[in-house]
Structure 1
Amino acid sequence: MAPSELVELLELEAIMRDGETHLETQVACEVSVGAQKFPVHVIALGNPDPNVPVVGFFGGFHGLERIGSAVVLAYLRSLVQRLPWDSELHRQLESVRLVFMPIVNPGGMWRGTRANPNGVDLMRNSPLEASEDVPFLLGGQRISSRLPWYRGPLAGPMEIENQAVCAVVEREFFGRKFGIALDCHSGFGINDRIWFPYAHTALPIAHLPEMHALKGIYDQTHPHHRYVFEPQSRQYLAHGDLWDHLYQRACALPGLTFLPLTLEMGSWLWVKKNPRQLFSRHGIFNPLIEHRQQRVLRRHVYWLDFLARAACGHQLWIPDEAQREDYRQQAIKHWYWKAGL
């Protein structure tokens, strides 16, 4: 079977052909699965000027969670289809750069596994160690690649897929003043959640005021949304979280505000509505009924588009120095009061 017969890659290739006059494309790396080789594509559009903000959309870190890639592809497809006629979109793209990595782990997607072809969970693979106790196995383990949540060998390099993501973030984000990254996943509970760092500690991040302000403008403009917006540490702690690792690296750069987010779609609701999905490994993490998948794509594409618009106007809602402490105290009260921080 040729790599292009992987449905998500086939869709991405079609989008790239349709938008070739507007899109910048490159292959960040190639992943081997036996004799097969799969490209990890990076697509960009908008203003390359480092003075404008950037938003990155990532999907497919876990091969079983195909709906994450589907959401990113749906948004990219929407943009490409609007480019021939939407003058407002062209004006927006003068003020922002958009970067897409819809299928980070094509080898795992091909094999139908959470991990990559080496058996490594890419979201447990960074060198960052948790500073507090983590759940057994779930928090990341180095016992065996035959067990879930395997981190990779101690002191080994990050997996090639993660190295590619880091290179893209370094190139596209680290030379700018403002950026948002959204990583799309599924499989946690009934509610759709927006997570932000940290995963390796329960302590709040340096940009907690900015996260609270972002939540605030979304609550104001979409008061009936169903997202639970929270630090990942409220649910569980983990070793090796890639976005924690990249966020900490970004914090060492002066003048950069980097806000990494994770969309964690609540797949248990799909199982509740269609219990037969429990008998399918893919069904635990993805909506299998077509109309339900379409509904999921419609709902979450609005969130992706909101982030692009929020980045364009970030100077209008980011707290200034005089406001930051007030925003921080509100955020502590909202998210961390049980921890006594």
Structure 2
Amino acid sequence: MTELRDLTPHSAITSEQSTRDRRQRHLLRTFLPELVSLERTLAEAPEQVRCSVIERIETGPLTLPVYRVDMGAEAADAPAILLVGGVHGLERIGTQVVMAWMRNLLARMAWDESLRSLLDRVHITFLPILNPGGMYKNQRSNPNGVDLMRNAPIIAQDRSAFLLGGQKVSPRLPWYTGDPEAGMEAENRALESVISNLLPGRPFSLALDCHSGFGWQDQIWFPYAYRRRPMRKIASVMALKLIWEQAWPDHTYRFEPQSRHYLTHGDLWDYFYKRINRDSAGTFIPLTLEMGSWRWVRKRPRQLFRLDGLFNPLAPHRHKRVLRSHLAFMDFLLNATASYRNWLPQGAEESMLREAAIMHWYRDQQ
């Protein structure tokens, strides 16, 4: 599946190679257990699950794979949903939430007839660990010091937040955008290749990128991050929000455009949203799940003294609660993607929902 797992005939394995392989396995189990867990899950997956390595990232003594996992309908015009985790290496909980839902689906495929029927109509793609080098090194950026969420070729139209909105000074400082002359980083080019291969030509597609971030509440963010004006298909986001709240009225997510918090340079999903919706007749909605980490820190203040404690639930019972708490929302997104024809607004309804969205999210910016 990757060079880390390729099997060599026993007679050809030298003592030096064996020692090196044991060291690599030890490093992975210690510093990147999510990759070990992912590979074990994929090794046991049903045969209808397709897996490939879309990029390999060099970091210290290891070459780390970026996995793509596909399941469901293979028709080019089937609606599709893309799940992404691990964009920021420190935010391991994003990868873990994506993998929790993936394992849930894989287990149900053996017996759940309704899920099998659903997968005949919708395509699912997972990129559980987009930034394995950053996760291995326990840092937000990739191994080059670039913040992947500030690395797309798109510039904020108004003043961005100092440093937080992206800076070009140094990779030694957080939120480094990278060198514009060098283009996007390898991890983002891999994501771009997946999106270019997967989404154009589909009537409807949706992406969910899972992060943790400072806040008391779980938030669902949508474009834009580079400007405060509403996105062209804002009515579709409002329609999605409404059917979610009608079906799960007791939810605690807060739906907002990211621009209500701060503007940034180089936002990946702004870039892909504009590109896909410009070049395709279908509708593409990218969402970002920002899990509120302040709640975890408040209940366990000693996490403040650990870098990973700022972004991840460390108490075992709280970690399990987070993993299961987002399964219903992900199931909803899957069903909404498969049934987009029943709720995606058209004509007069689209105009009405656009006006409602502007009043709801942008009234104080008019």
**Same fold, TM-score > 0.5, yes or no:** yes
Q: In 2, are the aligned partners of 1:18 and 1:80 still within 8 Å (CA)?
A: no
Q: In 1, are the aligned partners of 2:200 and 2:280 still within 8 Å (CA)?
A: no
What is the alpha-carbon distance in structure 1 between the residues aligned to residue 24 and residue 268 of structure 2?
Answer: 30
**Aligned residue identity for 2:70:** A
| Alignment deviations for residues 146-204 of structure 1 (CA, whole Å, 9 cap, x no partner) | 00000001321200000000110111111311100000000221110000000000010
In the TM superposition, 1:112-127 aligns within 5 A as: 112-127=138-153
What is the alpha-carbon distance in structure 1 between the residues aligned to residue 223 and residue 280 of structure 2?
Answer: 19
**Aligned residue identity for 2:262:** Y
- The match for 1:138 among 164, 168, 171 is 164
Residue 164 (structure 1) aligned with residue 190 (structure 2)? yes
What is the alpha-carbon distance in structure 1 between the residues aligned to residue 197 and residue 214 of structure 2?
Answer: 31
Partner of 1:71: 97
What is the alpha-carbon distance in structure 2 between the residues aligned to residue 309 and residue 144 of structure 1?
Answer: 43
Residue 243 (structure 1) aligned with residue 269 (structure 2)? yes
Residue 302 (structure 1) aligned with residue 328 (structure 2)? yes
Residue 177 (structure 1) aligned with residue 203 (structure 2)? yes
**Aligned residue identity for 1:238:** T
Residue 2 (structure 1) aligned with residue 28 (structure 2)? no
What is the alpha-carbon distance in structure 2 between the residues aligned to residue 54 and residue 251 of structure 1?
Answer: 14
In the TM superposition, 1:171-320 aligns within 5 A as: 171-320=197-346
Residue 109 (structure 1) aligned with residue 128 (structure 2)? no
Offset at residue 22 of structure 1 (A)? 2.0
Q: Secondary structure at the match of 1:55?
A: strand
Partner of 1:90: 116
What is the alpha-carbon distance in structure 2 between the residues aligned to residue 290 and residue 321 of structure 1?
Answer: 49
Q: In 2, are the aligned partners of 1:198 and 1:233 still within 8 Å (CA)?
A: yes
Q: In 1, are the aligned partners of 2:235 and 2:351 still within 8 Å (CA)?
A: yes
Q: Secondary structure at the match of 1:244?
A: helix
Q: In 2, are the aligned partners of 1:28 and 1:42 still within 8 Å (CA)?
A: yes
- Given the two structures, how large is their TM-score scaled by the length of structure 1? 0.98
**Aligned residue identity for 1:292:** R
Q: Secondary structure at the match of 1:155?
A: helix
- Given the two structures, how large is their TM-score scaled by the length of structure 2? 0.92
Cα root mean square deviation, aligned: 0.9
Q: Secondary structure at the match of 2:194?
A: helix
Offset at residue 251 of structure 1 (A)? 2.0
What is the alpha-carbon distance in structure 2 between the residues aligned to residue 280 and residue 94 of structure 1?
Answer: 45
- The match for 1:152 among 178, 181, 186 is 178
What is the alpha-carbon distance in structure 2 between the residues aligned to residue 224 and residue 89 of structure 1?
Answer: 25
Q: Gaps spanning 5+ residues in structure 1: where?
A: none
What is the alpha-carbon distance in structure 2 between the residues aligned to residue 275 and residue 328 of structure 1?
Answer: 42
What is the alpha-carbon distance in structure 2 between the residues aligned to residue 201 and residue 320 of structure 1?
Answer: 25
What is the alpha-carbon distance in structure 2 between the residues aligned to residue 2 and residue 328 of structure 1?
Answer: 53
Offset at residue 34 of structure 1 (A)? 1.8
Q: In 1, are the aligned partners of 2:201 and 2:281 still within 8 Å (CA)?
A: no
Offset at residue 20 of structure 1 (A)? 4.1
Deviates more, 1:140-149 or 1:320-329: 320-329
1:116–1:254 distance in 2 versus 1, CA, 3 Å = closer
Partner of 2:358: 332
Offset at residue 35 of structure 1 (A)? 2.4
What is the alpha-carbon distance in structure 2 between the residues aligned to residue 33 and residue 116 of structure 1?
Answer: 9
Aligned length: 340
What is the alpha-carbon distance in structure 2 between the residues aligned to residue 13 and residue 83 of structure 1?
Answer: 18
Offset at residue 254 of structure 1 (A)? 3.6
What is the alpha-carbon distance in structure 2 between the residues aligned to residue 129 and residue 280 of structure 1?
Answer: 33
What is the alpha-carbon distance in structure 1 between the residues aligned to residue 242 and residue 119 of structure 2?
Answer: 24
Offset at residue 52 of structure 1 (A)? 1.1
Partner of 2:9: none
Q: In 2, are the aligned partners of 1:62 and 1:121 still within 8 Å (CA)?
A: yes
Deviates more, 1:152-161 or 1:71-80: 152-161
Deviates more, 1:61-70 or 1:317-326: 317-326
